[in-house]
Amino acid sequence: MIQRRQFLKFLARGRRRIRKIWLSNSGDWHWLASKPAPVASLNRLLWRESVPSLSFFIMLTLSGVISTLGLLAGSTATVIGAMIIAPLMGPIIGIAFAISVANRRLVKRAFLTVLFGTLATVLSATLISYLTGLRSLTEEIVLRTEPTLIDLVVAMAAGAAGAFSKSRKHIADAFPGVAISVALVPPLSAIGIGIALWNQTVWLGALLLFITNLGGIIFSGILIFIWQDYGSAKRAKGGLLISILFLATIGIPLAISLNNLLFQSNTRQQVRQIVIQELNLAQIGEIQAMSLEYQQQKIYVDVEILASTASIPEEDIRSLQKSLQRDLERPVELTVQIIPIKEFVFPASP
């Protein structure tokens, strides 16, 4: 009983202190309140950004050139720089705004701007890839060919942030960060690279990523503009229905891709632990590289191990394969490459 009274007194004192701090810092701050931009002002801004002007195509083409070279060179910093200067986010947000207010003229203008900009970027990326003669796929390119539901969620969040920042002048500086958070130009560059290499897997995967980002941005942008009373659900009914059907359609391959990604990640970690335990690598060597491939209910495991060839007999490799098949509950085709290590130690001369 005494402890309960002490606890209640402690809560009461804490409440009085919090109230005192709140009142001492309170005041009339209505002049700092954030309000949405007027409809006419936002409409003019998005019309201006949705016009396929010369400056738009120059900046987008340069962004595509930087992005393509960054992908071919495997430079993450270069690809990020291309995202910052790309003006493609503006007309996409314009499409979302136009759908929310049922402005068909702006929808057509912004859509054509996105379409022409997309084609220009893909063509420039194809030309650059062909002229450079580079034929290897860097990790930066591969990352743009395997979209999942995670990319869709990122696109929706970026679309919401982009639409909100366009309607608030005091946070307009956040718009370049939105362009960085969602990849628009890099997938287009990857499509061009895939076409130049005539690699169907690359350009189809990059195309899926681009339309995923496009659909996610437009859908969440429409919702944000309706939430801020720029339009209404009644006006945007048709656009919302098309967006939902579109996202539901592409959600199927994205969900499959995410499931495969999770399976590979979990399986890779499980295989790594089994290999280390079965071969006692903590004492005799280490894993240099490991790759997994899942085809027709069979798992192909390729492991490179840095160790002495005499330290791992063939019987241990066979035992490892049996352990993998038992724990993974699937047929496993195992390939182990043992790379000999030679160590030379020379003590310091006096």
Give mean pLDDT, residues 17-30. Answer: 63
Closest CA to 303 of 330, 331, 324, 328: 324
Assigned domain for 174 exists: yes
Query: How long is the chain?
Result: 350
Based on the domain organization, do 297 and 226 belong to the same domain? no
pTM of the model: 0.76
Give mean pLDDT, residues 155-162. Answer: 88
Q: What is the pLDDT of residues 36-63, one digit of tens each?
A: 777 888 888 888 888 888 888 888 889 9
Lowest mean pLDDT across 60-64, 132-136, 223-227 = 132-136
Based on the domain organization, do 308 and 189 belong to the same domain? no
Based on the domain organization, do 219 and 129 belong to the same domain? yes
Type and span of the H or E element at 276: helix 237-279
Based on the domain organization, do 279 and 144 belong to the same domain? no
Based on the domain organization, do 188 and 283 belong to the same domain? no
Sheet of 298-307, strand order: 285-295, 298-307, 332-339
Q: In Å, what is the CA distance from 309 to each residue of 195, 288, 313, 314?
A: 44, 14, 8, 10
Rounded-to-integer distance, Cα 159 and Cα 144, Å = 19
Q: Which domain holds residue 274?
A: 264-339
Assigned domain for 5 exists: no
Which residues does 109 contact at the CB level (< 8 Å), separation at least 6? 47, 50, 51, 94
Based on the domain organization, do 53 and 198 belong to the same domain? yes
Based on the domain organization, do 273 and 161 belong to the same domain? no
**CA angle (170, 172, 178) in 5-degree steps:** 140
Domains held by the chain: number: 2
The model's confidence at residue 173, banded by pLDDT at 50, 70 and 90, is low
